[in-house]
Amino acid sequence: MSEGAGPYWDADNHYYEAIDAFTRHLDPADGPRCVQWATIDDRQYHVVGGFVSRAVANATFDPIAKAGCLSDYFRGNPNKINPLEVLRTHEPIRPEYRDRDARLAKLDEHGLEAVWLFPTLGMLYEELLTHDVEAVTTLFGAFNRWLDDDWGLDYRGRIFASPYITLADLDWAIRELEWALARGARTVVMRPAAPHTRDGRVPVSDPRNDPFWARVDEAGITVVAHAGDSGYSSNGYAADGFSAAFAGGGRWAPSVRAFHIERAAYDFLITLVFDKLFERFPNVRIASVENGSEFLADLFAKLRSTDRKMPGYFGGDPAESFRGNVWINPFWEDDVAEVVELMGGDRVIFGSDWPHIEGMPKPLDYLVEVKDFDDETQRRIMGANARELTTRRAP
């Protein structure tokens, strides 16, 4: 790797939420509608909207599986491991998973200049509250205040934590965006999904949400669509629910459930173009993070096909509209060369998913994936593109 490839910006780091992340700024009277703790069989669980959530095995995250412990499995499982066996090995939670100064020291150890920081549980709970829009906005308003307390939205120019935004309530989304901008946010995050509103499900790019996107366009902030629970159904082919990862019924077997993240991203991203969001707001920048990239070739084929079938609908080439306004963080096991060919080297961002189990043990383990690119492409993927997205861009 040439020395010119750095400095390195990791566009997909995570924290493990503090015990009171959802409740510190939540009125206890709202707990039954939002989030409470419960002890069941000597284990602590979140109760979300009155129902016990088993989205993760241990919502306290202490103890926790080791960072990147499933990396070999996702690289093709060369050692033929059973992932369920690997996940039984735990360690006490590390300070850098919850403390921003400890994380800064870890960035130095990892050789990173800066990171984008995203929720773990926070990406899962909107779906569990879709029946109650007010509970969604109440909960995530409280969650974002905790985030600002513990991490800050721009900590020393190196840790950029993303407040969670949902367009389940347009007025709330605009207010929360203004709060985030005032607190120095460089990115905001939402799940790739059509939110449940009081009028039913509405795509984020529907013209009724234009007041939100107009403010995003004006402010020049990057909106991240990060993998989460997007509410996709397996239509009877597998068990539903975010925790149904490797199998249902306690057995290890392949499942269509594994494709839901990419299905959700595909639908979300192509709809932005179908709804001509970028024609109305050309300064909007969308970063797709931890959603994979294998769907891209088919997405571009569908855009070209739609353009041929509906001549005159789009104001320009829809594929170019997509490339102009969307940045892609591939899964690290994806074919990065194919993504660069489809998107261009200036639209691909590196992310390690550290310290999640399916991520990389150390973020710069990713360097091997880009070693065959020229120096400029390496530099852009490994840091320059994310740095540019972190800078608010004037219209």
Per-residue pLDDT of 216-231, as tens digits, reads: 999 999 999 999 999 9
Q: What percent of the chain has pLDDT over 70?
A: 96
pLDDT band for position 4 (50/70/90)? low
C-alpha dihedral (64, 15, 192, 251), degrees to nearest 10: 0
Angle at 118 between CA 168 and CA 65, to 5 degrees: 120
| Tokens found for residue 58 | 């241990």
Other CB atoms within 10 Å distance of the CB of residue 171: 10
Of 348, 344, 355, the closest CA to residue 383 belongs to 348
| Tokens found for residue 49 | 């909207």
| Contact by Cβ (8 Å): 390, 186 | yes
pLDDT band for position 238 (50/70/90)? confident
Domains of the chain: 3-25+61-390 (3.20.20.140)
Beta strands in the chain (DSSP E): 9-14, 35-40, 43-48, 51-53, 64-65, 90-91, 114-118, 159-161, 187-190, 196-197, 200-201, 222-226, 285-289, 326-328
Peptide bond into 7 cis (omega under 30): yes
Instruction: Quick: pLDDT tens for 355-387.
Output: 999 999 999 999 999 999 999 999 999 999 999
Residue 256 confidence (pLDDT): 87
Q: Is the pLDDT of residue 241 over 90?
A: no
